Amino acid sequence: MTTFIVILGPPGVGKGTQAEILSERTGLAHISSGDLFRENLKNQTDLGKLAQTYMSKGELVPDDVTIGMIRERLGRLDCANGAILDGFPRTPAQADALEIMLAEFKGRVDVAPFIIGNDDVLVDRLSTRWTCRANGHIFNHKFNPPKENGKCDYDGSELYQRDDDKPETVKRRIQVYLDQTAQLLSYYRDNGKLVEIDGMQTIDQVTQAMVIALKK
């Protein structure tokens, strides 16, 4: 049976950072829907251009487009043993579609760690976040600085500030999360997959809590 982990939590709480660390430790693929959209935008695909009209406003890309993109990604070879999903699902329709897709791939969601954060801290974290141009590695000049200013520790590429990490868009993203994504918590709580994790601890402490959640 393949293992799928769905990381839940508001924007800026550390889903991407933890997904990267866990992916390295477990060998499971890290699938970030936001990274996939940004990659499409970089390559100027139709999907990327369409997604950008929503992303720039902090709104969700429509479900059918997002589900189609994830379906294609899950079908790739590196997901044969499972994957860590970061940023998907974000709506109940996406969660339902994920169940159907995983049934096709003979997989299932094993655990859904929910990283909890405080809104003010999230706005502060996002506005000080720097993302690597080549592979989306995440740094924060206050909490998780790169070794060399402006340069990714992993691949040496340029670090940039995402457009949607500006305070106005961040506030909208948090609101969209509360309106649309928070409904997923009861979905995964009801099916016994949800494990709550305090995201206001250090990166290492959050990882330790995630590892314990994964063993359950």
Catalytic residue positions? 15, 90, 129, 162, 173
Q: Please state the closest distance from residue 94 (CB atom) to ligand AMP, in A.
A: 6
Coil, strand or helix: which one is 182?
coil
**How far apart, in whole angstroms, are the C-alpha atoms of residue 16 and residue 4?**
15
Q: Where are the beta strands (DSSP E) in 25-106?
A: 29-32, 82-86
14: left (phi over 0), alpha (psi -120 to 50) or beta: left
The values of phi and psi at residue 109, to 5°, are -75, 120
The smaller minimum CB distance to ligand AMP, of residues 160 and 216, is found at 160
In whole angstroms, what is the distance from residue 33 CA to residue 73 CA?
A: 10
Which is closer to ligand AMP, CB of 90 or CB of 193?
Answer: 90
The C-alpha atoms of residue 76 and residue 48 are separated, in whole angstroms, by 19
Q: Which residues contact ligand AMP (rule: CB under 6 A)?
A: 11, 33-34, 37, 54-55, 58-61, 66, 87-88, 90, 94, 164, 173
Cβ closest to ligand AMP, residue 17 vs residue 94: 94
Residue number, 88 or 188, with CB nearest to ligand AMP? 88
| Other Cβ atoms closer than 10 A to 81 | 14
CB atoms under 10 Å from CB of 39, counted, come to 15
**Closest CB 139 distance from ligand AMP, rounded Å:** 15
> In this complex, which beta carbon is closest to ligand AMP, that of residue 37 or of residue 114?
37
Label the pairing between strands 82-86 and 194-198.
unpaired
CA atoms within 13 A on the CB side of 184: 28
